[in-house]
Amino acid sequence: PAGGVSLRLCSTRVALEGINKPVIDRIIRVDHAGEYGANRIYAGQMAVLGRSSVGPIIRQMWNQEKDHLKKFDELMVAYRVRPTVLLPFWNVAGFVLGAGSALLGKKGAMACTVAVEESISDHYNSQIRTLMEEDPEKYKELLQIIKQFRDDEREHHDIGLEHDAEAAPAYSVLKTAIQLGCKAAIFLSERI
Amino acid sequence: VVRCQLSSPQRPLQASAVLRRVSDEQKKEPLASSSQQQFDSHPTDPQPEQEPQGPRPSYTGQGGQESEDYESEEQLQHRILTAALEFVPEHGWTAEAIAEGAKTLGLSVAAAGMFHSDGSELILHFVSQCNTKLSELLEQEQKLVQLGEAEKKPTDQFLRDAVEARLRMLIPYIEKWPQALSILLLPHNIPSSLNLLTSMIDDIWHYAGDQSTDFNWYTRRAVLTGIYNTTELVMMQDSSPDFEDTWRFLENRVADAMNMGDTANQVQSTGEALVQGLMGAAVTVSN
């Protein structure tokens, strides 16, 4: 049976009253990793396309991701969740993905954005489902945050489509590959 | 005396029920009679308040269920182990100490049979208790600081004091502690002992005000774990008055760790400056 509060014998962890710590741990850890990675992806895209016509759009989306990351930093401290060990890896991988896709041109960058943001929104949706199944009242604040962020990511996804992501070279291959990578990243960050 | 025939999977149930009868006889009457009734009328049902767990207490985070005045098996085991600690200086971390502890609670010496023969649970129980005490201590200190009644300590001072407070809890048992350490390193104990260690270190950093959300989270905990473990080992061999050599060792290690942090920052800013210089050079060359 999924844990209630783990207390006495896990001696020192002062559990926040009544939450399902393992589930919340995973959620916050993977979301933090995701926002961190998204940050680095946009940073990579900016490094290549910063001075092009899509520069301002990318910068705007990047700023929103920075806000998201800040929020998860706060949640991480509040819920005493450990970050994923793979952060340094996502640091590099994210930047390389962003810069690499941007080197394929503006449409390539937009395709990358579409792929990533679609993965992230799906991922947030399943987390919302999980939390709703657990206890929508108890996790109200967290649910609100995740819903808001999901909407933001959807918006980024739509912006990417508006900017001709689908016209990018090898769009479907690119999209599939990136989404597979995202799935793997999510799987690993939840656990490690 | 157990009147009903119980099948073997319920042996722990049987054992604790026997012990409970013995101890219940010494408790207040209404409770004893109600518990006996409960037992008699449900000979083959598991006691309602007991979790479906094995006879060994788990140290990786299962809370015991408490219902009214009826004591769960886990609570009983806790009481026995706590009572047994008194006998550790004499008997070591062994089943004998547990047996003596059970005796002081008015239970049969056979109660020690509930536990592993190598004293693992006793040691883990002790570590768990110490960690809880440390948490409470740090929590209280934090409250005082928040109320403005105490000064916020600088990080190195905080870490030193926390580790010293925790290690001082070993002093009454210091003779037998090396034995305990070796038992904690047995393969079947490693998950539990590691879990206890990591949550203690995490607690200390939490109260020290650590809010890192990057790889520093790991670095800091690894460093503090190293400091704690080495200081503990030094303490085992320290014969100076009130372990002053140990505390001096601790002070030096913490100072080293602080320096390491500063050096790391310096390296990083040097690196960043270098990268900027290179980028500038690249831009210049490309233009």
Distance from CA of A137 to the nearest CA of B (A): 23
B34 located within any domain: no
Distance from CA of B178 to the nearest CA of A (A): 22
Whether A2 contacts chain B with CB within 8 A: no
Whether A192 contacts chain B with CB within 8 A: no
A5 located within any domain: no
Rg (CA), chain B: 25
The token duo for B207 is 């109260």
d(CA A49, CA A39): 15
Domain encompassing residue A176: 20-190
**Based on the domain organization, do B106 and B155 belong to the same domain?**
no
B99 located within any domain: yes
* Inter-chain touch B132–A11, beta carbons under 8 Å: yes
Q: For residue B206, which residues of chain A lie inside 8 Å, CB to CB? A: 80
B5 located within any domain: no
CATH of the domain at A175: 1.20.910
Phi, psi of B170 (to 5 degrees): -85, -15
Q: What is the dihedral of CA B31, B35, B40, B41, to 10 degrees?
A: 100
d(CA A150, CA A161): 17
Q: What pLDDT sits at residue B69?
A: 63
Residue where a domain terminates, one of B117, B145, B178:
B117
* Inter-chain touch A13–B59, beta carbons under 8 Å: no
Q: What pLDDT sits at residue B110?
A: 87
Q: ipTM score of the complex? A: 0.84
The token duo for A136 is 């929508």
Higher pLDDT, B114 or B47: B114
Q: What pLDDT sits at residue B34?
A: 44
* Inter-chain touch A13–B199, beta carbons under 8 Å: yes
Task: Tell me the per-residue pLDDT of B155-181, one tens digit each, with 9 for 90 and over.
Answer: 999 999 999 999 999 999 999 999 999
* Inter-chain touch A13–B213, beta carbons under 8 Å: no
B136 located within any domain: yes
- How far CA A116 is from CA of A14, A157, B163, in Å, comes to 36, 8, 45
**Based on the domain organization, do B223 and B107 belong to the same domain?**
no
A85 located within any domain: yes
Whether A82 contacts chain B with CB within 8 A: yes
d(CA A128, CA A122): 10
A156 located within any domain: yes
Q: What pLDDT sits at residue B57?
A: 53
Domain encompassing residue B222: 122-272
A·B CB contacts under 8 A: 72
The token duo for A165 is 């992501």
Q: What is the dihedral of CA A172, A119, A67, A69, to 10 degrees?
A: -120
A47 located within any domain: yes
**Based on the domain organization, do B171 and B191 belong to the same domain?**
yes
Phi, psi of B70 (to 5 degrees): -80, 130
The amino acid at A80: R
The domain total for chain B is: 2
List, as one string, the DSSP characters of chain B. Answer: ---S---GGGHHHHHHHHHHHHHHHHS-HHHHHHHHHHHHH-SSSPPTTS-S--SSPPSSS-PPP-BTTBPPHHHHHHHHHHHHHTTHHHH-SSHHHHHHHHHHTT--GGGGGGS-TT-HHHHHHHHHHHHHHHHHHHHHHHHHHHTTSSPPPPHHHHHHHHHHHHHHTTGGGGGGHHHHHHHHTSGGGHHHHHHHHHHHHHHHHHHHT----STHHHHHHHHHHHHHHHHHHHHHT--SGGGHHHHHHHHHHHHHHHHHHHHHHHHHHHHHHHHHHHHHHHHHHH-
Instruction: Identify the CA nearest to B50 among candidates B26, B80, B14, B95.
Output: B14
Q: For residue A77, which residues of chain B lie inside 8 Å, CB to CB? A: 211, 213
The domain total for chain A is: 1
Nearest C-alpha in A relative to B193: A10
d(CA A106, CA A46): 11
A14 located within any domain: no
Q: Which of B213, B215, B287 would best serve as a mutation to test chain A binding (most A beta carbons within 10 A)? A: B213
Find all residues with CB under 8 Å of A104, minimum gap 6, and list them: A111, A168, A169, A174
Q: Which of B63, B202, B215 sits opposite A88 (nearest CB)?
A: B215
Burial class (CB in 10 A: 0-12, 13-18, 19+), B13: buried
Distance from CA of A152 to the nearest CA of B (A): 23
Mean pLDDT for the stretch of residues B243-258: 95
Average model confidence (pLDDT) across chain B: 81
Q: What pLDDT sits at residue A17?
A: 74
Q: Which of B62, B131, B215 sits opposite A6 (nearest CB)?
A: B62
The amino acid at B261: G
Three-state DSSP string of B164-193: HHHHHCCHHHHHHHHHHHHHHCCHHHHHHH
**Based on the domain organization, do B105 and B135 belong to the same domain?**
no
A165 located within any domain: yes
**Based on the domain organization, do B188 and B251 belong to the same domain?**
yes
Q: For residue B196, which residues of chain A lie inside 8 Å, CB to CB? A: 11-12
Find all residues with CB under 8 Å of B214, minimum gap 6, and list them: A83, A87
**Based on the domain organization, do B138 and B104 belong to the same domain?**
no
- Host H or E run for residue A101: helix A87-103
* Inter-chain touch B213–A10, beta carbons under 8 Å: no
Question: Which residues in chain A (10-69) have CB-CB distances under 8 A to chain B?
Answer: 10-14, 32
Could you list the pLDDT tens digit for every one of the 192 residues in chain A? Answer: 443 333 333 333 334 778 888 999 999 999 999 999 999 999 999 999 989 999 999 999 999 999 999 999 999 999 999 999 999 999 999 999 999 999 998 999 999 999 999 999 999 999 999 999 988 888 899 999 999 999 999 999 999 999 988 888 889 999 999 999 999 999 999 998
Where residue B27 falls among pLDDT bands split at 50, 70, 90? very low
User: How many residues are recorded in chain A?
Assistant: 192
**Based on the domain organization, do B150 and B232 belong to the same domain?**
yes
d(CA B155, CA B159): 6
Phi, psi of B62 (to 5 degrees): -105, 125
Q: Which of A8, A32, A85 sits opposite B218 (nearest CB)?
A: A85
Is the predicted pLDDT of residue B1 greater than 60, yes or no? no
B178 located within any domain: yes
**Based on the domain organization, do B234 and B141 belong to the same domain?**
yes
Mean pLDDT for the stretch of residues B190-208: 96
Is the predicted pLDDT of residue B33 greater than 80, yes or no? no
* Inter-chain touch A32–B213, beta carbons under 8 Å: yes
